[in-house]
């Protein structure tokens, strides 16, 4: 498939596991993978957002764009060529007509949408009386490559696909009261599959997801088949399969059959 940024058409290309790992390990990307978004103060009895909100309790789930040009002639994990990557970013801005990366991401978000999440504050309400805490979003990202071969332009697009929310307790004013409440914070871990709101985001997400499912199936087959799958592999397979179901277009309902004409009475 293709998407257009500015006046340039980019092919959407699946990425290898080593490139996906390298891109998501970037320190800038790490800020999106694990992000504190809400803070509750038990003493004051109040909560406040730690990031900008678009509506009450609604936060954005940022997309990302990475210019990762690997160094050549190296064995082992991919290593970023900082100079070549910076030049690629500048060439992308010039080619698309964007003044900076923020404007470039704005143009891209208009094509793929900028997803949002309503924070599930009610899930964590049992903690409010006895503990102060922060809510942390832990996100999984779909990664694909955008390539315009005729212009020698390459970028890596990252889109949030699944999000887990958990609480990190920062203070317990009354240990006895907290123990008596018996709330196990480890059981408060809601998870969400990020919906795809545009045809472009749906197509990109499905492409990236198909690649990960194939990789997981090949990994399990290489180690001996389904019976050898680890608990972590089974859990990942379940998560990816659930996401695939959400991203699969629903078939249009079949048209109702017209009633058979009645014979004329005479």
Distance in angstroms (rounded) separating the CA atoms of residues 92 and 104: 9
What is the residue whose two structure tokens read 């964007």?
98
The DSSP string of 23-52 is HHTSHHHHHHHEEEEEEEETTTTEEEESS-
SS3 content of the chain, % helix, strand, coil (to 5): 40, 30, 30
CB atoms within 10 A of CB 73: 4
Decide: helix, strand or coil at residue 1.
coil
> Residue 266's pLDDT is what?
39
> Residue 264's pLDDT is what?
47
Pure H helices in 71-198: 82-96, 101-112, 175-181
Most distant CA pair in the chain, distance: 91
The sign one gets for the Cα dihedral 76, 79, 81, 86 is: positive
Q: How far is CA 132 from CA 23, 40, 184, in A?
A: 34, 5, 14
Question: Which tokens sit at 13?
Answer: 């290309």
> Residue 71's pLDDT is what?
86
> Residue 252's pLDDT is what?
62
Are the CB atoms for 47 and 40 separated by under 8 Å?
Answer: yes
> Residue 265's pLDDT is what?
47
Query: What's the whole-model pTM score?
Result: 0.84
> Residue 172's pLDDT is what?
94
Beta bridge partners of 233: none
Are the CB atoms for 23 and 29 separated by under 8 Å?
Answer: yes
> Residue 98's pLDDT is what?
92
The DSSP string of 230-259 is -HHHHHHHHHHHHHHHHHSPPPPPPPPPPP
Show the low-confidence residues of the chain (pLDDT under 50). Answer: 263-266
């Amino acid at each position: 498939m293709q998407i257009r940024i500015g006046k340039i058409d980019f092919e959407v290309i699946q990425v290898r596991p080593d490139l996906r790992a390298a891109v998501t390990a970037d320190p800038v990307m790490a800020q999106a993978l694990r992000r504190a978004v809400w803070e509750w103060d038990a003493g004051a009895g109040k909560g406040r957002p730690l990031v900008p909100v678009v509506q009450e309790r609604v936060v954005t789930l940022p997309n990302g764009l990475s210019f990762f040009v690997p160094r050549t002639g190296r064995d082992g994990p991919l290593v970023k060529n900082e100079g070549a990557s910076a030049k690629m970013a500048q060439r992308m801005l010039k080619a698309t007509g964007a003044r900076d990366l923020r404007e470039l991401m704005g143009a891209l978000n208009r094509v793929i949408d900028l997803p949002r999440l309503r924070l599930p504050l009610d899930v964590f309400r049992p903690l409010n009386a006895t503990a102060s805490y922060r809510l942390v979003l832990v996100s999984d990202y779909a990664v694909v490559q955008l390539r315009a071969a005729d212009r020698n332009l390459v970028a890596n697009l990252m889109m949030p696909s699944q999000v887990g929310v958990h609480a990190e307790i920062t203070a317990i004013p009354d240990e006895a009261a907290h123990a008596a409440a018996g709330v196990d914070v480890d059981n408060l871990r809601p998870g969400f599959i990020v919906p795809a709101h545009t045809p472009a985001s749906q197509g990109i997400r499905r492409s990236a997801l198909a690649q990960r499912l194939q990789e997981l199936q090949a990994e399990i087959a290489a180690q001996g088949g389904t019976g050898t799958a680890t608990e972590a592999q089974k859990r990942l397979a379940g998560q990816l399969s659930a996401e695939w179901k959400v991203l699969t277009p629903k078939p249009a309902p079949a048209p109702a059959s017209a009633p058979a004409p009645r014979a004329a009475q005479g």
